[in-house]
Amino acid sequence: MQNFHITLADTSSTSVSQCFVSTDGVYNARARVLGGGSCINAGFYTRASSSYVKRAGWDEKLVNESYPWVEKQIVHRPKLALWQKAVRDALLDVGVSPFNGFTYDHKYGTKVGGTIFEGNGRRHTAAELLASANPDNLDVLIHANVEKVTFDTRGKKPKAVGVIFKDENGRKHQVFLSKKRGSEIFVSSGAIGSPQLLLLSGIGPKKDLQKMNISVVVDNKFVGKGMQDNPLNTIFIPTKNHVEQSLIQTVGITKKGVYIEASSGFGQTNDSIQCHHGLASAEIGQLSTIPPKQRTKNAIQDFKDRKQDIPFEAFKGGFILEKLATPMSKGELKLINTNPKDNPAVTFNYFSHPYDLQRCVEGIRIIESLVKSAHFTNDIGCDEETTEKLLNMSVKANINLIPKQINDTVSLEQFCKDTVITIWHYHGGCHVGKVVGHDYRVLGVHRLRVLDGSTFKESPGTNPQATVMMMGRYMGLKITRERLGRRGATNV
């Protein structure tokens, strides 16, 4: 857990985290490792709401059998850090109630969710779920980069027949689907990787594919469309003493369309070089004190170079995070080249919809009242002297204190736009009904499905990983039961 920001700051070609910068200028990250985002994420685990499950058209009973399968194997109850307790109590103080205790369920109010970190900070990941598989039926290739899915286009409807991939030595391999009835290819390359792979394989908007000299298998204008990233805005709260490090454990599910989360505990020594801001660290691109378009590599380097001049107080305290629940702003993903290892061009258009901006402002106002709540100041011991000292140096230190013009709506809107960073919950690109059907089969071809966050029209729960993992089990059971026939499959 302590290494969260270190992994994301590693931009080498062998890093398990691959940085990408959306055309909006916001730095982001995608996983490049078996287990995907669960290997690099902040660990918070929480289910989707029952209304989300209904909207998705999923079988509720099967969903409720599938979440616990994940939870039993890799999810833990967190040992609540002081900062998280203070935020929990403050959320209740300001009316984000009731208190729903420790629960995976998504309900209005305040709760403590699960985590894939053990008490000692050791991470569990989705890759461990493979341990439940029958090893005789499973081959796992790591460092295998899929270049494209191949098709037999002779029939009426193209049929996926295999994939071409490169191994760690750059050698190309072509593999074919078994001839067995029901054999299929599942693409689970995530919200960036799956639309990218479909496009590379010839499924997408004809004009765009032709520009890249890719043979068109299916002309589908929706591939890569509807990309969204829930904007994150944070407020730094300095404290007199060090606060224990924590990622996300508490969440406030408000009726204003924002989720309030928190992170804390940065520098552990008096050496400011060692200091960082956890999931809001400038070093990982979360440089929130300058507007997105100005967040260049040089600006990040500049922050690193000046770090030793930053007062130590700027690293004592924590953040309160505001995530927009269901952004209405949408963007798109387009290929820049045909190298699957390169990032495509991704645009999220943060806050291009006025309702998103309005909800962000509401969220900042909730944070303002939260920080002023009696519980918060008592539990945390916010020190007015330190706060005052930091107020005028927030830009230098990459920390956002609550803007002084808190009653000025216009400037709060600007604050939202200028300080937007990511919580890495981007989704879309292969929407259900547009690119895949309700059974996640890719429209217009046989024997190919996409199953991951690219199919989401909105991010599930307050944080998505629980539902992405649940979907794997859910679809696995559904397909197996369908194949075996209900009567023969009661124990599946």
Catalytically active residues are 425
474 contributes a contact to ligand FAD by CB under 6 A: no
440 binds ligand FAD (CB under 6 A): no
- How many CB atoms sit inside 10 A of residue 452's CB? 23
Give me the residues paired with residue 104 across strands: none
Q: Is 74 a binder of ligand FAD (CB under 6 A)? A: no
Binding window for ligand FAD (CB under 6 A); candidates: 174-182, 229-237, 292-300, 461-469: 461-469
CA distance 372 to 376: 7
Report in angstroms how near the CB of residue 157 gets to ligand FAD at its nearest: 24
The one-character DSSP state at 402 is P
| Under rule CB under 6 A, residue 424 binds ligand FAD | yes
- H-helix or E-strand spanning residue 74: helix 60-74
Sole window of 38-46, 318-326, 364-372, 434-442 interacting with ligand FAD (rule: CB under 6 A): 38-46
Toward ligand FAD, which CB reaches closer, 243 or 468? 468
| Residue 248 is a binding residue for ligand FAD (CB under 6 A) | yes
Residue closer to ligand FAD (CB basis): 27 or 315:
27
Kindly identify the residues of this chain, within the stretch 41-60, that bind ligand FAD according to CB under 6 A: 41-44
Q: Strand pairing of 218-219 and 203-204? A: parallel
Among candidate residues 128, 126, 234, the one with its CA nearest the CA of residue 188: 126
Tell how strand 145-152 and strand 218-219 pair up.
unpaired
**Total number of residues binding ligand FAD (CB under 6 A)?**
32
CB of 435 to ligand FAD, least distance (A): 14
33 touches ligand FAD (CB under 6 A): yes
* HEC sequence for 327-379: CCCCEEEECCCCCCCCCCEEECCCCCCHHHHHHHHHHHHHHHHHHHCHHHHHH
What is the smallest separation between the CB atom of 191 and ligand FAD, expressed in angstroms?
A: 6
Which residues are bridge partners to 345 per DSSP? 334
Under the phi-then-psi rule, with left for phi > 0, alpha for psi from -120 to 50, and beta for the rest, what region is 429?
A: left
Number of H helices, E strands in the chain: 12, 21
Among 40, 203, 280, 420, the residue binding ligand FAD under the rule CB under 6 A is: 40
Q: Are 477 and 491 in contact (CB under 8 A)?
A: no
Cβ 91 to ligand FAD, closest distance in Å?
A: 18
Please pick, from the candidates 287, 468, 470, 475, the single residue that binds ligand FAD as defined by CB under 6 A.
468
Residue 191 is a binding residue for ligand FAD (CB under 6 A): yes
Q: At closest approach, how far in Å is the CB of 337 from ligand FAD?
A: 14
**Nearest one of 40, 35, 45, 32 to 5, comparing CA atoms:** 40
Q: Which is nearer to ligand FAD, 126 or 390 (CB)?
A: 126
Which of positions 263-282 make contact with ligand FAD (CB under 6 A)?
Answer: none
Burial class from Cβ neighbours inside 10 Å (0-12, 13-18, 19+) for residue 404 reads exposed
The interface region with ligand FAD, picked from 33-41, 101-109, 153-161, 312-320 by CB under 6 A, is 33-41
Query: Which range of residues in 23-31, 174-182, 231-239, 347-355 is near ligand FAD by CB under 6 A?
Result: 23-31
Length of the chain: 492
Per-residue tokens: 492: 């599946």
Applying the rule CB under 6 A, the residues between 101 and 160 that interact with ligand FAD are 145-146
The rounded distance, in Å, linking the Cα atoms of 252 and 108 is 8
- Which listed residue (5, 32, 277, 365) binds ligand FAD by CB under 6 A? 32
In angstroms, what is the minimal distance from the CB of 313 to ligand FAD?
Answer: 27
Range 294-353, binding ligand FAD (CB under 6 A): 340
CA nearest neighbour of 32 among 115, 113, 146, 110: 146
Q: Is 383 left (phi over 0), alpha (psi -120 to 50) or beta?
A: beta
Rounded Cα–Cα distance for residues 206 and 221 (Å): 7
- Which stretch in 167-175, 403-411, 459-467, 474-482 sits in contact with ligand FAD by CB under 6 A? 459-467
Closest CA to 480 of 469, 491, 464: 491
- What does 351-364 look like in DSSP terms, one character per residue? T-SHHHHHHHHHHH
| Cβ at position 491, least distance to ligand FAD in Å | 28
Contacts of 140 (CB under 8 A, 6+ apart): 34, 130
- Find the binder of ligand FAD among 276, 277, 323, 425 (CB under 6 A): 425
- Identify the residue among 190, 195, 224, 231 touching ligand FAD (CB under 6 A): 190
**The one among 464, 473, 474, 475 contacting ligand FAD by CB under 6 A:** 464
Q: Which residues bind ligand FAD (CB under 6 A)?
A: 8, 29-33, 36-38, 40-44, 145-146, 188-191, 193, 197, 248, 340, 424-425, 452-453, 463-465, 468
